Chain A
């Protein structure tokens, strides 16, 4: 598999480590840039100043939080005020009467129940199509309510870590692939949707709409685990929903695109990224092409865009965004 290709992104999603490209993997344009790009100390100092300015804007963070909170509010208001706009919760709903079914919940259900009815099929296919276009894990950062809580927990974790009170314990990313398989097998074998029992996504969505319960204790302990032991552990290493959506988004139209010519290789983007392995190519000398789409595990959260002052990372939409051709050299 060619490093930094879309298919290679799938390998990283399953837990593989990024590979250093071989000399023959580089496009002529990328090689030229790697050879000629030289940053002086002055450039870097100027960049640092721009960083401070740029970071304050938080453009994508604001947009994303607005969407995420907006989606939850739509569900809550629809039910509480009985406007019937989006009925149900995140696992399954009806938007203006049209069925929408969460892909991972549908998968668990089909494996457990071994029977598929038309409405379920319609809902699953619709959601599958939507996220295949919008970028699978876009669901994670733009819709999943646990993601928002986990972001706040992450801030606390980083603060405590800076005071040397806690330490991050990175786990092996292959764990999520393993758990995905285990929960699929459990659903098939036991006939129960076992993962739904502990899914913080489902629990939080229902708690917001139908009222809180004991289940929130489980969500709180997950957050505590992330604060005290392992940064963003659930979204990074555990959640099978993220895995399912990641696969769906492998070839999606909406993605973050990297522009080698604009990159100063400061690696600030990797520090804020939930899945830094998808940004392996921002390191000096790694990018094999002048423009690279960020891999399947990317949640399209835009935090990297918010910290990158040079515009080396942007959202692009296949077929809509003007994409410069690789410079022939």
Chain B
């Protein structure tokens, strides 16, 4: 049971009622004002710490297909994860708090699980409610030179269908042969067994065996005299090929060469048997010519 004139709103039941003396009340009000200001400043300050990762490590984040330029993408992404939910190979992950302002925004770790377009249409773009992932970037939003693809990417799995393209216009990144010295093709070495060993838990679709179901990469064994997995497994037409390239030593070697149709999906990086991968995706990288 309470007193008829109860305590002021929000006051703790245990708090002793201040003596009605004006100076006590003024002191309490002052104290409350300072506490309020401190808490407010603390919350805003902590939230602004989120800028740091955006300026540093997040630049390396590989975003899903159709993502706007990084700044616009983080502004437009509502961090709901609907793209994460529709991905048939679970290539997308919502970022943790260490990504700062990018918390909850989707990213891909291609070495662990690349985007292999086994959904056929970039379902994540369809799922996005805000246009952070989009097939057709509005003309007033910025697009860096070289991030625009020369043509809508043709998906080999549906090459013979009436609509063979993936219909988005900007690349996610670009593949780069980062360590030619480790590349099995350059070395003239072959592949036997699964590309990444029996314990690798990534998935991929092999459309010629099963059009609709991605299977474990570990379940697919190879027997190749010379490795060409980055070319063989690339889901996009004309994105990569093996060419005779004359190296520094003057000897011609069978070397993977990336072309400007590359969307940066990361399948080559995921499938590369070298450890660490000889070919990697540079996220957000623009095409700078062969």
Contact = CB atoms under 8 A, between A and B. Distances in A.
B47 A112 contact: no
Contacts of B138: 115
A123 B129 CA distance: 8
B1 A210 contact: no
Interface stretch (A189-197, A245-253, A317-325): A189-197
Contacts of A209: 81
Interface of A: 17-18, 44, 48, 79, 87-94, 99, 101-102, 105-106, 109, 112-113, 115, 117, 119-120, 123, 158, 161-162, 164, 167-175, 178-179, 182-183, 186, 190-198, 202-203, 206, 209-210, 213-215, 217-218, 230-231, 233, 236-238, 265-268, 270-271, 276-277, 280, 283-284
11 contacts: A18-B9, A87-B85, A88-B81, A92-B79, A112-B75, A171-B39, A202-B79, A202-B104, A206-B104, A270-B9, A276-B10
B interface, size bucket:
35 or more
Contacts of A191: 71-72, 74-75
Given A87-B82, A197-B101, A202-B104, A92 B130 contact: yes
Contacts of B289: none
Given A92-B79, A92-B129, A238-B40, 10 more contacts: A91-B80, A105-B79, A120-B130, A170-B10, A170-B32, A179-B40, A179-B43, A182-B40, A198-B46, A270-B6
A113 to B, nearest CB: 4
Interface in B23-67: 32-33, 35-36, 39-40, 43-44, 46-48, 50-51, 54
B177 interface: no
- Nearest first, the 8 closest Cβ-Cβ pairs linking A and B are A168-B12, A92-B80, A215-B97, A213-B96, A112-B75, A197-B50, A170-B10, A113-B75
Nearest to B2: A267
A197 B130 contact: no
B50 A231 contact: no
Contacts of B101: 192-194, 196-197
Nearest to A84: B85
Contacts of A90: 80
B15 interface: yes
B18 interface: no
B278 interface: no
Given A91-B79, A109-B76, A206-B79, A117 B100 contact: no
Interface string B92-123: 01101110110110000000000000000000
Given A170-B11, A210-B81, A198 B47 contact: yes
A193 B50 CA distance: 10
A317 to B, nearest CB: 27
Contacts of B75: 109, 112-113, 191-193
Contacts of B13: 158, 161-162, 271
Interface of B: 1-2, 4-6, 9-15, 32-33, 35-36, 39-40, 43-44, 46-48, 50-51, 54, 71-72, 74-82, 84-86, 93-94, 96-98, 100-101, 103-104, 127, 129-131, 138, 141
Contacts of B35: 169, 171
B47 to A, nearest CB: 5
A175 B39 contact: yes
Contacts of A115: 76, 131, 138, 141
Contacts of A270: 2, 6, 9
Contact of B127 (A87, A105, A218, A231): A87
Of residues A195, A210, A230, which shows the largest number of chain B Cβ atoms within 10 Å of its Cβ? A210
B40 A175 contact: yes
Contact of A91 (B51, B78, B93): B78
Contacts of A266: 1-2
A55 to B, nearest CB: 13
A178 B40 contact: yes
Given A106-B78, A120-B131, A197-B103, A284 B4 contact: yes
A66 B161 CA distance: 49
Contacts of A175: 36, 39-40
Given A115-B138, A194-B48, A237-B39, A168 B94 contact: no
B85 A88 contact: yes
A277 to B, nearest CB: 4
Given A196-B103, A231-B10, A284-B4, A190 B78 contact: no
Contacts of A283: 4-6
The residue in A17, A93, A170, A266 that gathers the most chain B C-beta atoms within 10 A of its C-beta is A170
Contacts of B98: 214
